[in-house]
Structure 1
């Protein structure tokens, strides 16, 4: 079906069975000694069985002293890492999948507590604007030592049978820091001009070729544009023109393939695009690189679907398709594409939850990353075998949101007979609200996937069904799963909250009320509130966001916050933090300014509440008194997000 995607391809003298490359993405599943154990072995093996042509391992440590990005980060800094790595290589080769190790040093983009509580190191003493750590400039001798670390890491990789290495010169890490005039202010042989800034990566490449052989493949993952103009940076930085020049120089010194990327931590949404970005959003920069070099080009491009990957190859935009999050979401993406089963692909919805867990779980050593739509991702060994002992026993699943749908899917795999009961006219639950803000359509993909799988499995879904205890008793179920979701929080203690001009964000987004060209007070600035604000602005409303906390969007994950605020910057939004809603009046709202300790009357036509949601679990007590096996999942158990809903449905069904 996808002829180009499944053609053989070559990187140097290395032949790949197809054009699909799993690009490096940190998962934090290594053992505590930074070696590859069962968890990481199963994670990569599952992608190999799924049909990937080349897997590039996660950012792999070459220096234990000042090059640590995470505690459970794979390493090739010591000889004891060779044997476990060889075991993985042999297993991947048995699946006809090639394997590269990505050699990495974070430079200034890491944290002191991971590096012996010492200042982080960089070409120059310029702290990262995100990590904000005390930073010291490397001495020339230290630079030379780290160059040797990269070379030694490549030698260990080759000794383990690894097919090639990739240098991580992207995203603002150490090699990228040396290449960029934004971060490199040195005056020795490693800074001061383009040629001198290039010396670091040049010496690494030539050193690896000398140590491992001229035919040993080297890829460079390169930020070809830091995109710092997006932040209003006026000083010189690594822009596309400079990025193209670097690509040409890399080709001259024997690099075998360029893996195109963009952005640094300070422009994070450009290197890990959130949901509102389209497939193909990097095309312009990739095209510029492809036209500048003769060696092969790999690139990620927010690719989620095989048809788009095929088009990139047909257009000669790339030689190899880079997939990251798409393969986290569905390890069988290539296999399903090859078999023409696109509808069975569990598409990544670009929610960036994996990156969120990278920050709050992997780096502080809490656990591996998590995927919102695939609970098994980076946990494959834990959930390796589905116990198929359901014996066709009936399980009533009350609610057809993503928690209920995922539970039904897993229950069916295990041999149970799930029956999904939904009081509304469609499946999806809160997703049918969450998909209404601008450019949020991808969020529907998880519902489409679940619905398709349940239909193919023959799972019964009863819509427009009001579930009562008596209804359930007639079913005589082996177990009851309560997945009744949540309802908007509307505090009755606030005077006037029941006025006719007061609505919830659900009312607005679902079209229950249409507000156009009015003055609107939106109460609450969580992620949903900010998205609804944009929705209201597009409908020509004058929007004020009123927030009790001392800042707008406090607690919203940084990528979502930056994306939302960037969208809202195109409108004249009135931000009112430190204001508590006291009352809805006949003219608007009465607020308490918490900082100034004064009462404010604010005129408005409509009041829209975004105060969160509360669990809707009225059936729980009744069911637990009647049935032996009752599981409460999703928002009905604990209000959360897509990931927690899908995961709770999966786990409840997996362990039943």
Structure 2
């Protein structure tokens, strides 16, 4: 494909952007507690500017400390934050990129209670998201006017810091969006009752910022045009609102879909496919004459298609630029095959913030948010490195060690690289995992890594005695719990099913185990092969190991595709006709099946690893699932660590 259209300049107001590629605003939870940004953030944004993005929009920065709930991405109410922000701006601008500050007045009903236990504020006394028995505190006129003043003050600060533009955070069902939406705005004063009145709050914010920064600084507005839940705002509902924003002087509209009730569209997982919010662009183009930015699982190919359609002017890449900050430059130089793909797992970026309260990183790019600390340096003492196992951990270890200048030999007992992910990436919604394996293949070839496939290493092999370092990533194998009949001819482990669907006989398939892998397989078999699938899960819900945003997409798709789900149900025995289960009340039930799948988890495959370590303990390191069973991201990170720690 010809990607030249992505590298034409475009103007938003008086600001010219050098290309059509925008780094989406994503909070990275790395700022300092006093509201200043950290050096890690500066390094992180610098890497995306160096990589060729035309416009970088920072993750939300809050206009005051008392409403700064959510990821730590800076607070703008004091002038002492300006010097560090200036360093950021000038660091980004040296590469010809533009940078916008996204200003946010908080999450409203989506916030947690503050330190005094007070409920969050919102447009109206609607139920708080964290506890629907608690009503939000409706904002008074004084509250509204104070927020508008704080927007102006924050806007002055970011202008003085040197930002090129300002974006107003008005999307995803947060506070500003709550004013714009009748499902949340029940006011009967001048801020509620009609579209014009519901738009008064954001319009007054726009006017306040314009008065603060003058006529030349572009103001963008980010907005969810389709909430995607019953009673939420639809595309049709949103068209009048964006016309009002255009009339008040917004210079560009940044559009997406979703809300806290449709969280999967805020952090779109792989199940939603490519360009899942492109559908918003055509009606928006017809409604307003503003520049349009669009996000939502874009690829370089969908970006070209969207720009060529004329329905949008700039295309936003968030997680793809976290996975590979050099994406724009690689495209511009004709090196599409060198772009490391985002696998849309959400685990290494949003998952780290939401589940662990730590800073963002990336499952396939451990350097994200540690650009300086994890810089790969060329070695002065090249070593002979043997890597055993070409799963994601081994592939990453081999890649990084070769970049450092070591001589690397990679052994794999199968006929292809990729390990388990080569096997389980058969569903269409996992095509990015296939791309990841292809990418590793290209990189290792360019780095002259010697790959020996279909070769099983033993601890007695001479190459292990002669090499300087041994990195072992032999992965994991399916668990085989002591269940009567589990070794029967018509029960197949999940990995083998992915490798060969012909092993499954008949139409009725029972999957024993409702973790993420089992659920993904159920969805694939139901939607792509037309099978009648039943999941048996011992705990009270399926896909417990899936991130909340991913599960929010996956589980409804399972039900829609006709998959039957039995939770609180334990597999007690298996025979040639099906599965016997014990339900939560102690009763027994028989589920008829033509074929059954063992998806009861994985265990470490470390027998070879332990034998090698026993013989060469000073030069051996375990990585990936043979050290600790995890996911793609944990495997890649362990491989990266092993290689970057080589002298």
Q: What is the TM-score normalised by the length of structure 1? A: 0.94
Whether the 8 Å CA contact 1:549–1:578 is kept in 2: the answer is yes
Question: Equivalents in 2 of 1:339, 1:540: separation in Å?
Answer: 43
Q: Summarize the Cα distance change of 1:534–1:512 in structure 2 as closer, same or farther, 3 Å threshold.
A: closer
Deviates more, 1:26-35 or 1:610-619: 26-35
Deviates more, 1:547-556 or 1:400-409: 547-556
Whether the 8 Å CA contact 1:517–1:542 is kept in 2: the answer is no
- Give the match for residue 342 of structure 2: 348
- Give the match for residue 118 of structure 2: 118
Q: 2:323 aligns with which of 329, 339, 354?
A: 329
How far residue 463 of structure 1 moved from its aligned partner, in angstroms, is 0.4
Which string of whole-angstrom CA distances, capped at 9 and with x for unpartnered residues, describes residues 504-552 of structure 1?
A: 1222222164335433321111111111112332434332211111223
- Give the match for residue 315 of structure 1: 309
Question: Equivalents in 2 of 1:468, 1:109: separation in Å?
Answer: 59
- Give the match for residue 589 of structure 1: 579
Deviates more, 1:75-84 or 1:102-111: 102-111
- Give the match for residue 7 of structure 1: 8
How far residue 390 of structure 1 moved from its aligned partner, in angstroms, is 5.8
Question: Equivalents in 1 of 2:52, 2:525: separation in Å?
Answer: 45
Aligned to 1:259, what secondary structure does the other structure show? strand
- Give the match for residue 641 of structure 1: 631
How far residue 140 of structure 1 moved from its aligned partner, in angstroms, is 2.0
Aligned to 1:322, what secondary structure does the other structure show? strand
Q: 2:246 aligns with which of 222, 243, 251?
A: 251
Deviates more, 1:195-204 or 1:537-546: 537-546
Equivalences, count: 641
Q: Structure 1 runs of 4+ off > 6 angstroms?
A: none
5+ residue gaps in structure 1? Answer: none
Whether the 8 Å CA contact 1:109–1:131 is kept in 2: the answer is no
- Give the match for residue 608 of structure 1: 597
Q: 1:486 aligns with which of 470, 476, 486?
A: 476
- Give the match for residue 16 of structure 1: 17
- Give the match for residue 363 of structure 2: 372
5+ residue gaps in structure 2? Answer: none
Aligned to 1:266, what secondary structure does the other structure show? coil
How far residue 118 of structure 1 moved from its aligned partner, in angstroms, is 2.5
Question: Equivalents in 2 of 1:546, 1:203: separation in Å?
Answer: 54
Q: Summarize the Cα distance change of 1:440–1:265 in structure 2 as closer, same or farther, 3 Å threshold.
A: same
- Give the match for residue 225 of structure 1: 226
Whether the 8 Å CA contact 1:67–1:115 is kept in 2: the answer is no
Map 1:124-203 to 2 at 5 A: 124-129=124-129, 134=134, 135-203=136-204
Map 1:136-535 to 2 at 5 A: 136-228=137-229, 233=230, 235=231, 237-305=232-300, 307-353=301-347, 354-361=349-356, 364=357, 367-384=358-375, 386-389=376-379, 391-473=381-463, 476-491=466-481, 493-511=482-500, 513-535=502-524
- Give the match for residue 87 of structure 1: 87
How far residue 281 of structure 1 moved from its aligned partner, in angstroms, is 2.3
Q: Summarize the Cα distance change of 1:108–1:555 in structure 2 as closer, same or farther, 3 Å threshold.
A: farther
Q: Summarize the Cα distance change of 1:86–1:376 in structure 2 as closer, same or farther, 3 Å threshold.
A: same
Question: Equivalents in 2 of 1:412, 1:375: separation in Å?
Answer: 17
Whether the 8 Å CA contact 1:108–1:133 is kept in 2: the answer is no
Question: Equivalents in 1 of 2:606, 2:105: separation in Å?
Answer: 49
Q: 2:544 aligns with which of 554, 558, 565?
A: 554
Question: Equivalents in 1 of 2:212, 2:609: separation in Å?
Answer: 65
Question: Equivalents in 1 of 2:577, 2:258: separation in Å?
Answer: 47
Q: Summarize the Cα distance change of 1:410–1:390 in structure 2 as closer, same or farther, 3 Å threshold.
A: farther
Whether the 8 Å CA contact 1:507–1:513 is kept in 2: the answer is no
Question: Equivalents in 1 of 2:304, 2:501: separation in Å?
Answer: 41
Q: What is the TM-score normalised by the length of structure 2? A: 0.95
